[in-house]
A and B are shown apart, each in its own frame.
Chain A
Amino acid sequence: VDRYQYVRPPSVDEAIEILQGHVDEAYVLAGGTALTLLIRQGLLQPGVLVDLIDLPGLRDVRDTGHGGLHIGPLLTLREIERAPLVIERQPGVASTLREVATVRVRNQATLGGNLAHADPAQDPPPALIALDASVEISGPEGRRSVALDEFFVDVFETILGPADIITGILIPSTPPETRFHYEKFLPRTVDDYATVSVAGRLDFDEDDVITGARVVLGAVGPVPIRATAVETMLAGANAAEIDVDAVAAEAAHAADPVDDARGSADYKREMTRVITARTLRRLLGTEVPN
Chain B
Amino acid sequence: LSAAKPPDAGTLAALSRPEQRFEAAIKVTGAAKYVADLSMPGMLRAAYLLSPYPHARIVSISTERARSLPGVHAVVTGDDVRGARFGRRLQDRPVLAWDRALFIGDRIAAVAAESEGTAAEAVAAIEVEYEELPPVLDPESALADTAPVLHPEAADYGFFDGDRPSVPHPNIQGHVLVTQGSDLEAAFAGAAHVVERTYRTPRQHAVPLETHACLVWVDADDRIHIATTNKTPFPLRRQLATAFNLPADRVVVDAGFIGGDFGGKGYSIDEFACVALALETKRPIRSVATYSAELGQINTRHAATMRVRTACDADGYLIAHDARVELDGGAYAGAKPLPHLTLAGATATLAGYVVPNVRIEVLSVYTNNVPGGHVRSPGEVQALFAGESSIDELARMRGEDPLSFRMRNAVRQGDHGAAGQRYREARAVQVLAAAADGIGWTRPKRQGAGVGIAMSARHVGAGKLPLRLELRPDGRIQVFTGLPEQGSGGWQVLRRSLAVSAGLDERRIDVVHLATDEIGFDPGVGGSRVTHIASRAAERLGADLREWLFERLPQAGPTWPNDVELRDDSVVDPTSGEVLSSFDTVVARLLRPEEVVKLSTTFEAEPHGPDEGGDYDFVACAVEVAVDADTGRITVVDAVVAVDVGTVINPVAHRGQLEGGFVFGLSEALMEELAATDGIVSPLSLADLKVPSVGDIPPLRIVHVPTFVGPGAFGAKMAGELTNAVVAPAISNAIADAMGIRVTELPLSAERVHRALRER
A interface vs B, CB < 8 Å?
A: 1-2, 37, 41-42, 102, 185, 187-193, 195, 260-264, 267, 270-271, 274, 290
Contact = CB atoms under 8 A, between A and B. Distances in A.
Contacts of B628: 290
Contact of B632 (A37, A42, A187, A260): A187
A133 B632 CA distance: 34
Given A189-B690, A263-B751, A2 B695 contact: no
A33 B655 CA distance: 35
Given A185-B631, A267-B751, A290-B628, A191 B695 contact: yes
A264 B115 CA distance: 40
B689 A187 contact: no
Nearest to A195: B750
B749 A188 contact: yes
Contact of B631 (A193, A260, A271): A271
B638 interface: no
B692 interface: yes
A274 B688 contact: no
Interface of B: 115-118, 120, 628, 630-633, 670-671, 682-683, 685, 687-693, 695-696, 749-751, 754
Contact of B690 (A42, A192, A264): A192
Given A2-B115, A2-B117, A187-B633, A261 B682 contact: yes
B692 A261 contact: no
Contact of B693 (A189, A270, A271): A189
A192 B667 CA distance: 14
The 4 A-B residue pairs with the shortest CB-CB distance in the complex, in nearest-first order: A187-B750, A2-B117, A190-B695, A261-B688
12 contacts: A1-B117, A187-B749, A187-B751, A188-B690, A189-B690, A189-B692, A189-B696, A190-B693, A191-B695, A264-B751, A267-B751, A270-B754
Nearest to A266: B751
Contacts of B632: 187
Contacts of A264: 751
Q: Is the interface of B mostly helix, strand, loop or mixed?
A: loop
B631 A187 contact: yes
B693 A191 contact: yes
Contacts of A260: 688
B499 to A, nearest CB: 39
Nearest to B694: A190
Contacts of A193: 687
A41 B118 CA distance: 15
A190 B751 CA distance: 16
B685 to A, nearest CB: 8
A198 to B, nearest CB: 13
Nearest to B685: A41
Contacts of A271: 631
A190 B671 CA distance: 12
Contacts of B691: 189
A195 B671 CA distance: 13
A102 B690 CA distance: 14
Contacts of A192: 690
A267 B756 CA distance: 13
Nearest to B671: A188
A267 B696 contact: no
B72 to A, nearest CB: 14
Contacts of B693: 102, 189-191
Given A187-B751, A263-B749, 4 more contacts: A1-B116, A37-B687, A102-B693, A188-B690
Nearest to B682: A261
A1 B120 contact: yes
Contacts of B115: 2
Contacts of A267: 751, 754
Nearest to B628: A290
Contacts of A187: 631-633, 749-751
A261 B749 contact: no
A270 B758 CA distance: 12
A261 B685 CA distance: 11
Contacts of A290: 628
Nearest to B683: A261
Most buried by B among A102, A190, A261, A274: A261
A209 to B, nearest CB: 29
Nearest to B750: A187
